[in-house]
Amino acid sequence: MSQRTLILLAVALPVAALLGLLAWASVQQKGGPAGAGINRKFGGVRIQPGPARDFSLTLLDGRTLTLTELQGKVVLLDFWASWCPPCREEAATLAEVYGEYAGQPVEFVGVDIWDRQEDALAFVEQYGVTYPSGVDVKGSIAIDYGVKGIPEKFFIDRDGVVRRKFVGPMSADNLRAVLGELLNASPR
């Protein structure tokens, strides 16, 4: 074997091994981002109530929304992605319940993470999502809220305090119960 052939093998074999490892990792993640958890089962998460972190989210329609703008309202902050099966399962439920609270001091905000803008747009159109939604491009909102998987929901009272956190898809009855509790608990 010539020296040139040995050099080519010395370079090609590690590259092939690396590509094989990357392919294997991609299959294991089922195409999702590494470390991304999918919350398939619904459940409440114990939290210490505290001030919600303000954020600036560029919405899918180009406007910018901050949490400060929503002060005085009960806010449901929903972290989701278009490729997430449980997010797809609950999308119609969230849209339905949001419509039921029109005219009340309640706002839903959809924060799409680990996703592409065009996929987020297709998702909100497909499921009739009318509440403000945007892509957390840098992941800063998800990091500030300690999101570990999707879907995750944070309920913020009218005073800007995070009161409840849930993982997994929520039923309409569970959504209504938490929203009713927060509307009744923080009269203004």
Residues 48 and 23 in one domain: no
Residues 91 and 180 in one domain: yes
Look at residue 164 and give its three-state secondary structure: strand
Q: What is the CATH number of the domain that holds 63?
A: 3.40.30.10
Residues 1 and 74 in one domain: no
Helix (H) or strand (E) holding 176: helix 172-185
Euclidean distance between CA atoms 39 and 21, whole angstroms: 26
Enter the pTM of the model: 0.78
Residues 167 and 87 in one domain: yes
Residue 2: Cβ within 10 Å count: 7
Residues 81 and 173 in one domain: yes
Residues 25 and 94 in one domain: no
Residues 142 and 103 in one domain: yes
Tokens coding 20: 């094989």
Residues 163 and 91 in one domain: yes
Which pLDDT tens digits describe the chain residue by residue (188 residues)? 778 777 876 766 666 655 554 555 445 444 444 445 776 767 788 888 899 999 999 999 999 999 999 999 999 999 999 999 999 999 999 999 999 999 999 999 999 999 999 999 999 999 999 999 999 989 999 999 999 999 999 999 999 999 999 999 999 999 999 999 999 985 55
Residues 109 and 22 in one domain: no
Q: What is the pLDDT of residue 15?
A: 62
Euclidean distance between CA atoms 89 and 185, whole angstroms: 30
Which of 119, 112, 123 has its CA nearest to residue 152?
A: 112
Euclidean distance between CA atoms 88 and 91, whole angstroms: 5
Which of 64, 63, 57, 51 has its CA nearest to residue 78?
A: 57
Q: What is the largest CA-CA distance in the chain?
A: 84
Residues 19 and 48 in one domain: no
Overall number of domains in the chain: 2
DSSP classification of residue 62: S
Residues 179 and 150 in one domain: yes
- Domain extent at residue 6: 1-30
Residues 67 and 140 in one domain: yes
